[in-house]
């Protein structure tokens, strides 16, 4: 019992000495505690604002992309400043553009220059153009297959063929250069 009381007194004493605030609410660093509380946003508020989960923000924190301005030592609540909210906004926008968290960290935390940012955005644009081009090639291949199947006499007798003959016929009709499309087509036929 006596040990518990001594421990409680120490904890209380530590809490008091941890942050000394005068009667006007200003701590020893000159920070107005009420003003600080009003300008900081809790992690849940920030998460809701950006429609991301609290877990996602904690992952960004673990990756070193964003750091809370304040973590309440007793509750564990994380608080963010307006500047950090702007930083998180940049993070969310870059993520929506397809940047990885490592790329985002380099941009947001690394103090990247405008020139490097433009280069990174240009590279990302080129990657998206390649993705679009690949998708368009696949759409064209699908159109060719459906066009040939719907207009040829071979389509009428397709049901009479064995699975292997159908697969060979479709590959022959399409002459697809993209290996992925060929494998997808073969898989679809064998299903």
The pLDDT value given to residue 123: 94
What is the C-alpha separation between 135 and 94, in angstroms, rounded?
23
Q: Residue 52, SS3?
A: coil
| β partners of residue 78 | 71
Cα-based distances in Å from 83 to 30, 39, 132:
20, 11, 35
Give me the tens of pLDDT residue by residue for the chain, a chain 191 residues long: 555 444 444 433 443 334 444 454 444 444 445 545 568 889 888 888 888 999 999 999 999 988 888 888 898 888 999 888 888 888 999 999 999 999 888 888 777 788 888 999 999 999 999 999 999 998 988 888 777 777 765 555 666 777 787 777 666 666 555 555 565 556 555 54
Domains of the chain (ranges; CATH) run 2-108 (1.10.1660.10), 114-190 (no CATH)
DSSP state of 132: H
What is the C-alpha separation between 79 and 69, in angstroms, rounded?
6
């Amino acid at each position: 019992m006596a040990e518990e009381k001594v421990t409680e007194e120490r904890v209380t004493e530590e809490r008091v000495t941890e942050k000394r605030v005068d009667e006007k609410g200003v701590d020893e660093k000159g920070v107005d505690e009420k003003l600080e509380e009003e300008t900081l946003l809790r992690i849940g508020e920030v998460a809701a604002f950006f429609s991301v989960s609290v877990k996602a923000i904690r992952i960004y924190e673990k990756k070193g992309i964003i750091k809370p301005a304040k973590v309440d030592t007793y509750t564990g609540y994380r608080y963010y400043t307006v500047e950090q909210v702007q930083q998180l906004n940049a993070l969310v926008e870059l993520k929506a553009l397809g940047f990885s968290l490592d790329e985002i960290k380099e941009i947001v935390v690394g103090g990247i220059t405008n020139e490097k940012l433009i280069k990174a955005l240009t590279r990302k644009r080129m990657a998206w153009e390649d993705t679009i081009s690949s998708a368009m090639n696949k759409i064209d291949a699908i159109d060719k297959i459906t066009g040939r199947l719907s207009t040829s006499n071979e389509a009428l007798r397709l049901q009479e063929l064995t699975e292997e003959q159908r697969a060979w016929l479709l590959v022959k009709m399409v002459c697809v250069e993209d290996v992925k499309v060929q494998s997808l087509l073969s898989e679809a036929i064998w299903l």
